[in-house]
Amino acid sequence: MIIHQAEYSASYPKVTLCPKDQKPEYAFIGRSNVGKSSLINMLTGRRELARISSKPGKTQLLNYYIINKEWYIVDLPGYGYAKISKSKRKEWRKMIEGYLQFRENLQCAFILLDANIPLQQIDLDFINWMGSVRVPFVIVYTKADKSKLDEVSTNLDKIRTGILEHWNEMPQEFITSSRNKEGGEEILSFIENINQQFVARVE
């Protein structure tokens, strides 16, 4: 897939306000500071499309980006960010879970995991929750360039072992590096295939 156009569309505080134009959507979510904005910018080829911040917790709404005027990337707030009030965490959780469970146009969620650190309990809990509510998802390992290849490989094997303690098989995976532009073509091909199926269903 070639990205000809990618631009910010709008932000919404709850799922009921999201676009009504029936375009396929792909949600990106992960722990705060996992590299979500960098990944979105790498996929779209737009260096500053999604705002990158050194301070976690900047994404606070359902941020929509329209791609090729045909489909949306939806940037969801990062989970696990502790430096916000309990009421704000509850508000974010309600917004995120409402979107993931009830957004009919959502085709797939991309759950981002840092390729350089062990599987975090909060990530495992979120993956298991996604399975419990039957939301289709894949796993995207980010920052694969930050460690040596053998170290990344060893860590990913440990992550898979942890997930497979709860799952019969691994979800589809993508290994990415925003800096080296690794994994972007594979993700866009995956999305393109789903988009083609989406168009075939609605026609």
Q: Which CATH number is 40's domain given?
A: 3.40.50.300
Torsion angle, alpha carbons of 26, 172, 47, 74, to 10? 20
The 10s digit of each residue's pLDDT in 164-186 is 999 999 999 999 999 999 999 99
DSSP one-letter string for 132-162: HTT--EEEEEE-TTSS-HHHHHHHHHHHHHH
pLDDT tens digits for range 45-81: 998 898 754 444 456 799 999 999 999 999 998 886 6
List 75's β-bridge partners, or say none.
28, 63
Domain that holds residue 71: 6-202
Q: Where residue 161 falls among pLDDT bands split at 50, 70, 90?
A: very high
* Domain assignment of residue 75, yes or no: yes
- Residue 118 domain flag: yes
pLDDT tens per residue, range 93-127: 899 999 999 999 999 999 999 999 999 999 999 99
Counting the structural domains of the chain, the total is 1
Answer whether residue 116 is part of any domain.
yes
DSSP SS3 for 84? coil
* 1 occurs within a structural domain: no
Neighbours of 135 (CB within 10 A): 18
Q: Any idea what DSSP says for residue 77?
A: P
- For residue 84, being part of any structural domain is answered with yes
> Per the domain annotation, does 124 fall within a domain?
yes
Q: Is the residue at 58 inside a domain?
A: yes
* Within-domain flag for 23: yes
